[in-house]
Amino acid sequence: MNSSHFSILNPASWFSCGLEISRRLRYSANTINLIILITLVNLVLYHVPLYSFTVNNLNGLHSNSILTIITLSVIIFVVTALLISLLLQISQKLLKPISMLMFLGNSVALYYVQTYQVILDKTMMGNILNTRYSEASGFFHTNLIIYLIIFGVVPCLLLLKIRIQYTSRLRLALFSLMVLPWSYVINTLRFQTSLLSRSQEQILLPPATLSSKEKTVVILVIGESARARNFSLYGYNKPTNPWLTKSGAIALKNTVSCSTYTTASLSCMLSHNNNSSLFSEQYEPLTSYLQRYGVDVDWRTKNWGEPPMKIQSFQKSSDLEKECKDVNECDKDGVLLSGLSERIQSSKKQNVFVVLHQKGSHGPEYYTRYPSQFEKFKPVCKSVELNRCTNNELLNAYDNSILYTDYFLNRAINILKSLDNRPRMLMYISDHGESLGEHGVYLHGTPYTIAPDVQKEIPFIVWMSSEFLKKEGISLEQLKQQERHSQENVFHSILGAFDVQSDVYKQQFDIFSGVPSKK
């Protein structure tokens, strides 16, 4: 190998280096020794984030932290070796292909753990597996290829050159526990197992009646990755809500999400029992329920993660693009408003329920979530590796996406204002918040019990026409004084807005029911 042509920053150099080492290597090992070697490779290459976390949280490298690292290393070594031994009970010929797949998987996992400080538990693996290619491609960076080659391809090439001397199965231990970053494997299996338990047929909710004779229009906007602390309506020091401030909308206080990822939060919003479990969708959701009792339901989405639902009008952004008139917004959330006014006015139903599911402020490409004219806060972060941006650049990119959401919501409100004098209401609530580098954490999806507040604290904004206020007998001042809210309020507040009478309706979760009591 010519060292003059080798560059540590060039992936091709690492690849050729690996090939050269692999070509020269001639080695044989029995199964047990090879398990030990593979386990040591796993221990050394893929657990740096764990060791770093240990040192940082034990205030540096001293006797206590060293002892902790040694203990962790022993546990990881034993667990990994036992896991591989368990897999080899099927066939020892699986050792190489399984190990190579793990090398490649661990290299990718290591990149994302190092870059975004994510935890690859069951929740996060569910979030990943529900991500579409168009979203996943936004996380791509050339450094990912470098990680893949150095920590994945090179170990695979070296392993290929080792000849295995098979040993007795009796010498292989049985064990089934996994730890970081191997955790993504077991949690992927847990996620897929849970999918198999999803009910094939949803249980119908009990009978309902719509007591109001007034034509009512309700728009529910489901935001994405919006955190309350970056809304000027909640006291943020940057003017991210110039349009909503003038619209007459009300920002409800102290709202928390049911989860830190989209799919579970949507299940919670649309569930009568406020269940945020991704796989417990045994009952029909709000949309199907309203549709079944005569409400015209129109779901428009630029996102995904919806629970199974039975509605007649489900439109993706690609379906709406043909009606989009503003080229600057056809690939943004604005496409969701295409033809919306005409759609509502043409409805022959007494009540109309529209859901707009935004792309919102989904990271890491915050700078792509808004048209160029909304880049008010500068300079902005334009890298998917958020830790390489300054805090100011990252916040500016994110805040511009919130500014565009503000504009989008105001446009939706103006559509409602343009309709006839029927009761009209818009409700906006985000699916979860977002981490923007606080404590070294980015994005969302952290397990709920340890997730930072910024991933749970979300905006909850309501606009109501005078006719709606009168119909519901609502006091704006009392509504503003309500102290706590959550996504659990959505299902029952929407039922209340349509004056639905049902055994599943819970008045205590209806934000309109106690401001003051309905007539």
Closest CA to 217 of 368, 477, 423, 358: 423
Asked whether 439 and 237 are in contact (CB, 8 A), the reply is no
**Which backbone phi and psi does 56 adopt, to 5 degrees?**
-65, -35
- What pLDDT does residue 49 have? 74
Residue 203 gets which letter from DSSP?
B
Question: DSSP labels for 295-361?
Answer: -EEEEEESS--PPP---SEEEEHHHHGGG---TTTTTSGGGGGTTHHHHHHH--SSEEEEEEE--TT
Closest CA to 404 of 366, 431, 430: 366
Asked whether 267 and 277 are in contact (CB, 8 A), the reply is yes
- What pLDDT does residue 182 have? 46
Question: DSSP labels for 220-251?
Answer: EEEESS--GGG-GGGT-SS---HHHHHHT-EE
Rg (the chain; Cα; Å): 27
The full length of the chain comes to 519
- What pLDDT does residue 469 have? 94
pLDDT tens digit string along 83-122? 777 777 677 778 888 888 888 888 888 887 777 766 555 5
Residue 206 gets which letter from DSSP?
P
Question: Global pTM?
Answer: 0.70
465: left (phi over 0), alpha (psi -120 to 50) or beta: beta
Q: What's the CA gap between 257 and 246, in Å, rounded? A: 26
- What pLDDT does residue 57 have? 60
- What pLDDT does residue 343 have? 96
Low-confidence spans in the chain with pLDDT less than 50: 1-9, 14, 173-177, 179-184, 186, 197, 278-279, 517-519
Q: What's the CA gap between 258 and 274, in Å, rounded? A: 8
Which value, to the nearest 10 degrees, does the dihedral of the CA atoms of residues 22, 25, 31, 35 take? Answer: -60
- What pLDDT does residue 292 have? 97
**Which backbone phi and psi does 39 adopt, to 5 degrees?**
-65, -40
Cβ atoms within 10 Å, residue 394: 23
